[in-house]
């Protein structure tokens, strides 16, 4: 991004302009991707100096694949591995979706794909991270695949996935942290004792060079017939909305309820949740990705995007700046799609898939969702977030 003072990019060093001396926005400070029925936003937040979060989105017909990774700020290099992990996992699942009838696969077969995606993401962190570091990079990981009639979620760490519909929010994941590990090992401990644990939020499962390398925890959730949306987020949002109440409120809002913008309805909902987190203090990086089952794309080609701002198959990546070109040569664009929503305050989705805009460049198990038998127990050393 060019400095606001007009200096050239080669006059930037260490995140600062060498002409005016002001700090300049980083590539990942704020990125938006709008695919109509699937949209994601990541933001550096108010407190952090850099954005360690990353996300990736892949869609194929009526299947959405989303992955959110939250790099551990206290471990250098975590931003690099969060990005490569998110991209690798989402691309792995897309490959399986394209070459199979995903909705006809058994739970075990789909779980095998999620396991493989996680293995590849973990392997990618080994090449991107510092394997011999005393404080190796680490990242949370939540991978969600929404298809007609089923929602599959795999995760490590404390990034979360929620199912939101007219009946309210359901948390589909459980945080892999020290507090929950102690609660499982010592079920007689009360909530007050658990709350007083030192390093209770420290991660006990995560991706990275010193991760445990075990399969992720997996749930297969039946969303039912009622329209709804899956919200996958880093703890930059869930720290302010543990129960998903604000997320549910956003899901009930129609397009007219949001300030006018070039965003589609799903992207507007994601933006409202990011703005809520920032207004609540912005104590961490915040990433929100939403896939809305009430409107699923029906396309013959995959539409792909990642939080790097690059796109493929001709789609435009959405960011606050033009951050590269797609595989078909299309430039990245900002807030790029206009959405359509039903009137009223009922839970609503897009009525139609919006066309790309020509505007300027701009993760506790739900009560009825049993964890898969493949779910593994928390392991590994604690990692402070």
Q: What is the pLDDT of residue 27?
A: 78
pTM of the model: 0.77
Residues 138/208, Cβ–Cβ less than 8 Å: yes
Q: What is the pLDDT of residue 191?
A: 82
Q: What is the pLDDT of residue 384?
A: 60
Within the chain, strands assigned E span 12-13, 16-17, 30-34, 38-43, 53-60, 63-70, 141-147, 150-156, 160-165, 168-171, 217-221, 228-233, 286-292, 303-306, 311-312
- Non-local (6+) Cβ contacts of 239 within 8 A are 277, 283, 284
Q: What is the pLDDT of residue 327?
A: 27
Digit-by-digit pLDDT tens for the chain (385 residues) are 455 666 665 655 555 566 776 555 567 899 999 999 999 999 999 999 999 999 999 999 999 999 999 999 999 999 999 999 999 999 999 999 999 999 999 999 999 999 999 999 999 999 875 655 678 999 999 999 999 999 999 999 999 999 999 999 999 999 998 877 777 788 888 888 778 777 877 899 999 998 888 999 999 999 988 889 999 999 999 999 999 999 999 999 888 888 888 899 999 999 999 999 999 999 999 999 999 998 664 333 455 554 443 333 333 333 322 222 222 222 233 322 222 233 233 444 333 333 322 222 222 222 233 333 233 333 333 556 6
> Could you tell me the domains of the chain?
27-312 (3.60.40.10)
pLDDT in tens, 302-334: 555 544 433 333 333 333 222 222 222 222 333
Residues 358/352, Cβ–Cβ less than 8 Å: no
Cβ neighbours of 265 (radius 10 Å): 32
Place of tokens 């920032």: 278
Give the burial class of 351: count Cβ atoms within 10 A of its Cβ; 0-12 exposed, 13-18 middle, 19 or more buried: middle
């Amino acid at each position: 991004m060019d400095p606001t003072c007009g200096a050239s990019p080669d006059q930037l060093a260490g995140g600062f302009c060498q002409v005016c001396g002001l700090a300049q926005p980083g590539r990942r400070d704020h990125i938006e991707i709008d695919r109509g029925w699937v949209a994601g936003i990541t933001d550096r937040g108010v407190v952090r100096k850099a954005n360690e979060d990353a996300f990736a989105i892949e869609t194929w017909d009526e299947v959405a694949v989303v992955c959110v990774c939250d790099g551990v700020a206290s471990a250098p290099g975590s931003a690099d591995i969060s990005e490569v992990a998110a991209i690798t996992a989402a691309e792995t699942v897309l490959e399986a979706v394209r070459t199979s009838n995903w909705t006809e696969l058994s739970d075990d077969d789909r779980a095998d794909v999620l396991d493989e995606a996680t293995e590849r993401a973990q392997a990618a962190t080994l090449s991107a991270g510092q394997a011999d570091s005393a404080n190796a990079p680490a990242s949370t990981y939540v991978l969600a695949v929404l298809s007609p009639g089923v929602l599959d979620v795999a995760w490590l760490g404390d990034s979360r996935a929620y199912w939101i519909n007219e009946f309210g929010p359901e948390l589909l994941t459980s945080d892999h942290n020290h507090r929950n590990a102690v609660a499982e090992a010592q079920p007689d401990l009360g909530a007050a004792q658990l709350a007083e644990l030192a390093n209770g939020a420290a991660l006990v499962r995560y991706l990275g060079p010193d991760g445990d390398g075990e399969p992720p925890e997996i749930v297969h959730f039946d969303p039912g017939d009622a329209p709804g949306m899956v919200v996958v987020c880093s703890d930059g949002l869930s720290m302010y909305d543990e129960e998903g109440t604000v997320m549910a409120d956003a899901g009930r809002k129609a397009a007219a309820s949001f300030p006018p913008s070039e965003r589609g309805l799903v992207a507007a909902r994601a933006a409202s949740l990011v703005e809520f987190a920032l207004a609540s203090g912005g104590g961490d990086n915040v990433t929100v990705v939403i896939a809305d089952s009430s409107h699923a794309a029906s396309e013959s080609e995959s539409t792909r995007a990642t939080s790097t701002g690059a796109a493929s198959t001709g789609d435009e990546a959405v960011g606050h700046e033009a951050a590269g070109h797609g595989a078909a040569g299309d430039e990245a664009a900002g807030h790029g799609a206009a959405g359509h929503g039903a009137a009223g305050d009922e839970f609503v989705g897009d009525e139609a898939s919006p066309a790309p805009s020509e505007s300027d460049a701009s993760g506790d198990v739900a009560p009825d969702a049993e964890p898969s038998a493949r779910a593994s127990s928390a392991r590994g050393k604690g990692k402070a977030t």
